[in-house]
Structure 1
Amino acid sequence: MIVALIDSGFGLLPTAAWLRRMRPDLDLMLSMDPECAPWGPKPADWVADHVVSIARRAVDRGADVVVLPCNTASVTALEHVRADLGDDVPVVGTVPAIKPAAAVCKSVAIWATAATTSSRYQADLIERFGNGSEVVGVACHGLADAIDRGDREGADRAIADAVARTPGDVEGIVLGCTHYPLVADSIVARFPEGVRLFDSAEAVARQTLRRLADLDAAEPGTREFDDRSGASGRVEVYLSGRRGALPPGAEAFAAGRELLAATTAT
């Protein structure tokens, strides 16, 4: 069974690592796009067409499920990918964890890229799921870029800047960019004890497994859903359409090290 994860950079690592922990028998196809990253500043039509083409190639290579662990791809291309691939291939998107955060916190800060922070999309999510909480957006300038470089020092500087612009009485931080969970340890260390972090990587991984179970129920016995006697699944990496390896910067993060070890082992 093959799950394809698509992101311009390292934003796919947290969800891929969760899938690896939950179902080590699954084959993972990690499709990154360093030649065209980042996608956020690109025109929406370009992003939609580009992500659709990457998803189509992943299915042609054997992917059974496609996951977009990327806010830009999910907002811009999710419905286009679903329409292109049809009902036989489940496509799982990503939504920032505003709803669970606002359900338990009176004050919430959404950390995201500058483009997402100023977007109509995030404003709509706050309106729909804010639950009466005080919700503010905090643009984390340069954080995703530093993460994609594997630059922990640069990430720490971007985190310090974002902390300085976050209300002091905040109870919850929503990590509104899929890159940010990779430095969750550095973020939580900057806040007082009791401030909670929320991200969507585990939820997206669990939704992916539910969609796999749905496929098995619809087509019993036609796909490899068994645990292959405890064998580990393969982890393949594609960089802008070509077979490759995880960039060395992935080693700066725990999830990256897990997946690097898996690609070495397979």
Structure 2
Amino acid sequence: MRRSLPHRTGSARPVDYGDRVKIALMDSGIGLLAAAAAVRRQRPDAELVLSSDPDGVPWGPRTPEDVARRALATARAALAHGPQALIVACNTASVHALPAIRAELEPAVPVIGTVPAIKPAAAGGGSVAIWATPATTGSPYQRGLIRDFAGTAAVTEVPCPGLADAVQWADGPAIGRAVAAAAALTPGDVTDIVLGCTHYELVADRIRAAIGRPVALHGSAEAVAAQALRRIGATDGTVGAPAGPPTVVLSGRAADTLPPEALEYAEATLLFAAVPTR
């Protein structure tokens, strides 16, 4: 039987989850799909809450203070549904708002941030490219991660202007142009590419095709999902019946499903596929 500590915004009594697993994910937009699908693959019985901010997307160009404000509001909207853990499935929010979110939610609800997978990409000591938004590329945050985790690997920072927005709106031609531009900036000897924005994981196949040769892509979704399940003690191998479609919250409002553009991606198909009635 799993219990949480009391939610600070709710009852003082612990929440009894029984054998259920319930995880919330938040992002400015649909970048949370990759981590949500990873949770569902690892725990098909996990109930999911998807909280995003279509009224405020994108967060990247906003000031750090504004990002923190909107991210906190998005986290609170997710918390209202009683999850056992919250995944901040957004690199921008993890940079600017993770301390504030953790200060408000923990220890009652574990908060798992998203960090670019530089360490595993650089483990072989080869040539690594980090694809990221223009605001993140060259930032002190990313340079610090390279310094701390890249080791002896040669690292090239590749800005990807417009790619996150194109993915958000499922704009195929714009995705193609942005991916091609980033591929052209990627050195020919690169063996590993870090996907430094959660949106990019939704178009991994297009990135591989644009590179045109074998290359390893390193996203954060699988590791973040695994960490969330570890934090709530849901890695014991006991899996219940498949869960139904996620609960969706859009800028604090309950919704029946995700925006139409999100449903263009395979990850959304996995999450919202029909399941047997329990």
TM-score, normalized by length of structure 2? 0.86
CA distance in 1, matches of 2:87, 2:158: 26
Measured after TM superposition, the shift of residue 231 of structure 1 is 3.8
| Paired residues for 1:107-256 under 5 Å | 107-213=127-233, 227-228=239-240, 230-244=241-255, 245-256=257-268
Measured after TM superposition, the shift of residue 106 of structure 1 is 1.1
More helix, by proportion: 1
Measured after TM superposition, the shift of residue 262 of structure 1 is 5.4
| Paired residues for 1:96-107 under 5 Å | 96-107=116-127
**Structure 1 residue 67 and structure 2 residue 78: aligned?**
no
Measured after TM superposition, the shift of residue 54 of structure 1 is 2.2
Measured after TM superposition, the shift of residue 234 of structure 1 is 4.2
CA contact (8 A) 1:236 1:263 kept: no
- The one-letter amino acid paired with 1:248 is P
**Where does the alignment leave 5 or more consecutive residues of structure 1 unmatched?**
218-224
Q: 2:98 maps to which residue?
A: 78
**Where does the alignment leave 5 or more consecutive residues of structure 2 unmatched?**
1-20
CA contact (8 A) 2:195 2:218 kept: yes
CA contact (8 A) 1:26 1:234 kept: no
**Structure 1 residue 257 and structure 2 residue 269: aligned?**
yes
**Structure 1 residue 42 and structure 2 residue 53: aligned?**
no
1:118–1:98 Cα change, 3 Å: same
- CA-atom RMSD in angstroms: 2.2
CA distance in 1, matches of 2:47, 2:24: 9
Pairing partner for 1:31 from 51, 55, 62: 51
Structure 1 residue ranges, 4+ long, deviating more than 4 angstroms after superposition: 262-266
- The one-letter amino acid paired with 2:223 is A
Q: Give the SS at the match of 1:153.
A: helix
CA contact (8 A) 2:49 2:247 kept: yes
Q: How many residues align?
A: 257
Measured after TM superposition, the shift of residue 192 of structure 1 is 4.1
1:208–1:130 Cα change, 3 Å: same
